[in-house]
Amino acid sequence: MSTPTVRSARVRGRTFAHILVNTALANLTTSYLWFALTFWLYLETRNVIATGVIGGGYMLFIAASSIGFGTLVDRFRKLSVMRGSAAFTLGMFSLAAVVFAVMPNDASATLSSPWMWLFAVIVLAGAVVENMRSVALSTTVTILVDADRRANANGWVGAVQGLSFMVTSVFSGLSIGFFGMGWTIVIALVLVMVGLVDLLAISLPEEREPAASDAQGTFDLRGALRAVHLVPGLFALIVFSTFNNFVGGVHMALLDPYGLELFSVQMWGVVFAFGATGFMVGGALIGRFGLGANPMRTMLIAVMVTGVLGAVIGLRAWPWLLVAGVWLFMVVMPAVEAAEQTVIQRVVPLPQQGRVFGFAGAFEAAAAPVTAFLVAPVAEHIVIPWADGEGAGAVEPVFGSGPGRGLALIFAIAGVVTIVAALAAFTTPVYRAVSAEYSAVAAEEYAPEDGSVEQPRDASTCPPTTPDDAVPTGG
């Protein structure tokens, strides 16, 4: 293998910023069309089961494909993976445009319409594959960013994602409200093409060829499990990071129906845009200050806060309460994501990181669709009729009156469960073991090899198992 070019930290930082902005454009595009699809389906059918199935299906597909994405990231150059992902998304969105063009005018009005579900699944496929870029982006942090700055870099990832989310939520609501689904697809296609062309202009000399990896096939589950097992407590870290997905699954299924009861579709998009500024603020704070000496502790505290916020946003049918709760929820979310990424980037060797990130994504994503699939029909057929009927008197002292009181009850239950789970995690031996592992690797990171010269020694640049597997990097 040829020795990769090692550029200065400043130059590598500019390359990382370029990749980050390009990925933000890709996130904007897929989220724009995905949000629009969710809004459009609910407005067409007025049924929360539709949004629950779509949201849950999206996360289920991510869970099923994440290990395969991670395997490809480990086997091929990161830029090649990103370019392939963009090309596939362009193909799927183009096919979705064709299906929408030939769809009968009344085909989207009911849940039983095969045209509606065909259109939704094609859009879903294009949006899910974009997640492969997120896995590749996490490994480029390891390649391009020095170890002591990775927590900050992960924070900026959250900030840029928040910016794209903000723009997306505004455009999605306005597009559906004023232009309809047809022009929304056209705009998405243009954005995908712009991102793909820009991606072709990026170079990454620190990785002239793929890192030597033991990844095999297209779905290396065994390799992913082996990589996770080699780091004590890493599986527990992944479990801890799924706590916030419990609330996320509930919100995935029910937050849009709740918000659309309080706001018009155009204003609901604006509300999400304002909420996304919180994601930017949270990511920027991490980018500036990092995550502290123990990212695990930071993660669990953040998870508890999300539980509190998830429980209180529906206590009254007050629009300002929902807006404030969504904004604060977005402020906290980057800490959960960045904490997990920072630990993995530090303790897992680079040739295995793709599969570890993929495994983590699969495990975490699986929590949300399970919740969404369970919650949506329960809300539609049991909780909402009860809260609007014979249970109205029991609900009113706590949640007041107004639309969505059954949804507010579900939000509160999910939030309390999340808080209890995070508090319990603090008391486990595994939490202490993972914290100690991270601290030990961080302490060794700049330890002198011979007592005189300091050299980086973070696990991400060390041989994964044997000297034969060592991979030179540009960190």
What is the model's pTM?
Answer: 0.64
C-alpha to C-alpha distance for 140 and 73, rounded to whole angstroms: 10
In this prediction, residue 88 has a pLDDT band, given cuts at 50, 70 and 90, of very high
Kindly state the percentage of the chain with pLDDT values over 90. 5
The pLDDT of residue 282: 85
What average pLDDT does the structure give for the chain? 77
What average pLDDT does the segment 447-456 reach? 41
Query: Model confidence over 373-387: pLDDT tens digits?
Result: 777 788 878 888 888
pLDDT at residue 92, rounded to an integer: 92
CATH classification code of 9-445: 1.20.1250.20
pLDDT tens-digit map of 172-230: 777 887 878 888 899 889 999 998 999 888 888 777 666 655 556 666 677 777 777 77
- Using pLDDT thresholds of 50, 70 and 90, give the confidence band for residue 443: low
> Is residue 13 within 8 Å of 145, Cβ to Cβ?
yes
- Provide the pLDDT confidence category of residue 454 given band limits of 50, 70 and 90: very low
Domain-by-domain residue ranges, the chain?
9-445
Structure confidence at residue 196 (pLDDT): 92
Would you say residue 455 has pLDDT above 50?
no
pLDDT of residue 448: 45
